[in-house]
């Protein structure tokens, strides 16, 4: 058992959060966000120096909605600084994944807490858009813009202008 996995277990025990552990240094628990309760899988992978957290949406995307949700996922992922949404196009599983590279065997309880919280917050932010696409037939573009506008900070740019790496404003 690695130090990072021990830190994860300690943090959950300290907060009295129930979980199931597996032999592959992964835990599974259900955590409640503002919008829903999510299945959280946190895994330490020492062979690749990675701590990963997956947050699973409580819904399976219906087969007929998968192309629209795939577009919504692509739109949600564009510009994300941390993590990514993923959808299994075969079974409709929708999740958010975030990883932290391990420096040594430890990850630190603060980072564990931040990664798990970020996963839940991202699901809370975007799940209403995905639901709106599925059940209200909202266009993916409109649904994603609506939720992102609600969470935009005053300092964030409002337009769709994005600079490429190494490009100056004059070159764009």
Per-residue pLDDT of the chain (172 residues; tens, 9 = 90+): 788 899 999 999 999 999 999 888 999 999 999 999 999 999 999 888 899 999 999 999 999 999 999 999 999 999 899 999 999 999 999 999 999 998 877 788 899 999 999 999 999 999 999 999 999 999 999 999 999 998 775 555 554 433 333 333 444 4
Rounded CA separation 156/87 (Å): 27
Other CB atoms within 10 Å distance of the CB of residue 45 = 17
- The beta strand positions in the chain, using DSSP E, are 20-21, 26-32, 37-45, 50-60, 84-87, 93-101
Chain center to CA of 10: 23
């Amino acid at each position: 058992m690695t130090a990072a996995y021990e830190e994860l277990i300690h943090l959950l025990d300290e907060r009295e959060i129930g979980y199931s552990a597996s032999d592959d240094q992964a835990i599974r628990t259900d955590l409640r966000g503002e919008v829903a309760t999510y299945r959280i899988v946190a895994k330490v992978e020492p062979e690749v120096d990675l701590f990963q957290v997956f947050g699973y949406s409580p819904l399976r995307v219906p087969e007929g909605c998968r192309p629209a949700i795939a577009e919504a996922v692509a739109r949600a992922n564009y510009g994300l600084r941390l993590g990514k949404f993923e959808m299994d196009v075969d079974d409709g599983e929708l999740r958010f994944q975030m990883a932290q590279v391990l420096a040594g065997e430890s990850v630190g309880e603060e980072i564990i807490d931040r990664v798990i919280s970020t996963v839940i917050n991202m699901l809370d932010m975007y799940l209403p858009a995905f639901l709106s696409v599925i059940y209200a037939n909202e266009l993916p573009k409109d649904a994603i813009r609506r939720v992102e506008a609600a969470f935009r900070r005053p300092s964030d740019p409002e337009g769709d202008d994005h600079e490429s790496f190494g490009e100056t404003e004059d070159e764009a």
